[in-house]
Structure 1
Amino acid sequence: MGHMTPNDYDSFAEAYTAENETSIVNAHYERPAMLDLAGDVAGRRILDAGCGSGPLFAALRDRGAIVTGIDVSARMLEFARRRLGAGADLRIADLAEPLPLPDGAFDDVVASLVLHYLKDWGPPLTELRRVLAPGGRLIVSVDHPFVSYAIQRETSYFETYQWTFEWTMGDRTVPMSFWNRPLHAMIDAFTAAGFRIAVTSEPQPVPAARELSPEEFRRLSTGPCFLFFVLQRDG
């Protein structure tokens, strides 16, 4: 297979899209939790930051939200376009760079499993706050810091460090690289960027997951996996 760049979603967009669609972790745990935290979104302008192939975008749009999706992977956006139709507002953008979006344009931003790819949260959070209207919400899911630590035992929980592992999807294995940061560093980054934490959530998987995989259901219902926040833009 040769050397592969970590996190090259362009190269495995199809496999990832299929996996994300059906996997218990995404379809029966992470996505329902994000939608639950978002609540009634009818008429709200929402930015899906790191929208991938658009499953959360689609679910929010079905609930009456006016959604814009951004992602760094052109190939993932092709799958999103296929799913969402030609009229969907989808744009290529990198969260590590200034966003091509106006100030105060959104009532909510959802950032689903994306911040843990970024080394520095300062500039991205400042940008996401900028595009939110006053009182707007940033709804975030990230790898639970204790899970990364449990996998990477030789490191210190208290450090912010990068780690890479081989992710198997379908018939392929791809290198994925993440930045782990302890809980206090996440909270410091949120407050430094001008957010107030409204909700912190460690949700349960949806009951349907029990039938699909009792083992996976047990894992998700008894131990940490992802960590969720609802952050309020003050002022």
Structure 2
Amino acid sequence: MNNRVRDAYNKLSNDYEHNVDTKSVFNTEYERPAMIQLLPSDLKNKTVLDAGCAAGWYTNQLANLGAIVTATDISPKMVEATKRRVGESAEVLCLDLENKLPFEDESFDIIVSSLVLHYIEDWSKPFSEFRRVLKPNGKLLFSTHHPFMDHKLSNSGDYFSNEFIIDQWEREGKLIDVPFYRRPLQEILNETSEFFTIEKVIEPQPTNNFKIREPEKYERLMKNPHFLIVKALKSK
């Protein structure tokens, strides 16, 4: 699975680097505004891990807000794209979140993981490492596919299963197979609460600018959520 995700995102890297920030309203006018709103207002000198950075949009935002940022991605081409974007303002590493992280215990104040975890079958692996490297009272903020949306792609029709799915994305005139795992809401919340205290669960809604640019998709999202955001705390 890891190799398939790596290969897919290597193929997607050019699109993420040059198009997603301006053309993908699901990112710019849906997921990102909701995630940014949940970040602390003051990030100056806070240590932040961008876990699954893609082409580095969050990495750049966090660094611009004064954070000391370390960014990671499984795709070497995404890592290269992030390095081109942020230069020396963040440390950028190529690594797999299913493995032990190369960081000391209690290294980070905040972990941000945007639309990454649905590519991982067993969340206990990254969550145990996230908990280890977070400081006491550190925050985890992650977004993932909403189970309501994923269930529509299910081959089995079994909402309660943890199911491997291959979606197809059309990018730059090519169809790219993008594999991920779908799971029910109770699994998302229970797995998180085994390692962290959940503070907020957000089903984001699209911005007014989304409505202007893509009115039909806006109406669908207002009735059928696409993403889910969880803000959690590492208790002492």
TM-score normalised per structure 2: 0.92
Q: Sequence identity of aligned pairs in percent?
A: 35
- Contact 2:63-2:89 within 8 A present in 1 as well: no
Decide whether aligned partners of structure 1 residues 87 and 10 sit closer, same or farther in structure 2, where only a CA change above 3 A counts: same
Correspondence for 1:85:
87
1:113 Cα deviation after fit: 0.3
2:207 is the counterpart of 1:206: yes
Aligned to 2:13: 13
Q: Is the 8 A contact 2:169 2:177 kept in 1?
A: yes
Separation in 1, partners of 2:196, 2:74: 24
CA 1:41–1:109 in 2, change beyond 3 Å: closer, same or farther? farther
Q: Residues 156-171 of structure 1: matches in 2 within 5 Å?
A: 156-171=158-173
Cα separation, 1, equivalents of 2:89 and 2:146: 35
Pair 1:69–1:150, CA change in 2 (3 A)? same
Following TM superposition, where does structure 1 have runs of at least 4 consecutive aligned residues deviating by more than 3 angstroms?
4-7
Q: Which of 51, 54, 64 is matched with 1:52 structurally?
A: 54
Task: Provide the residue aligned with 2:27 in structure 1.
Answer: 26
Question: Which of 53, 69, 72 is equivalent to 2:71?
Answer: 69
What stretches of structure 1 of length at least 5 have no aligned partner?
none
> What per-residue deviation string (whole Å, max 9, x for no partner) do you get for residues 98-133 of structure 1?
001111111110010000000100111000111100
Q: How many residues align?
A: 231
Secondary structure of the residue aligned to 1:198 is strand
Q: Could you tell me which amino acid in structure 1 is paired with residue 63 of structure 2?
A: R
- Shift of residue 5, structure 1, vs aligned partner: 4.1
The answer (yes or no) to whether the contact 1:7–1:177 under 8 Å persists in 2 is no
Change (3 A) 1:64 1:6: closer
> Which residue identity lines up with residue 13 of structure 2 in the other structure?
A
Question: Which residue among 129, 132, 137 is the counterpart of 2:131?
Answer: 129
- Output the CA distance in 2 between the equivalents of 1:18 and 1:218: 27
Give the aligned CA root-mean-square deviation in angstroms. 1.6
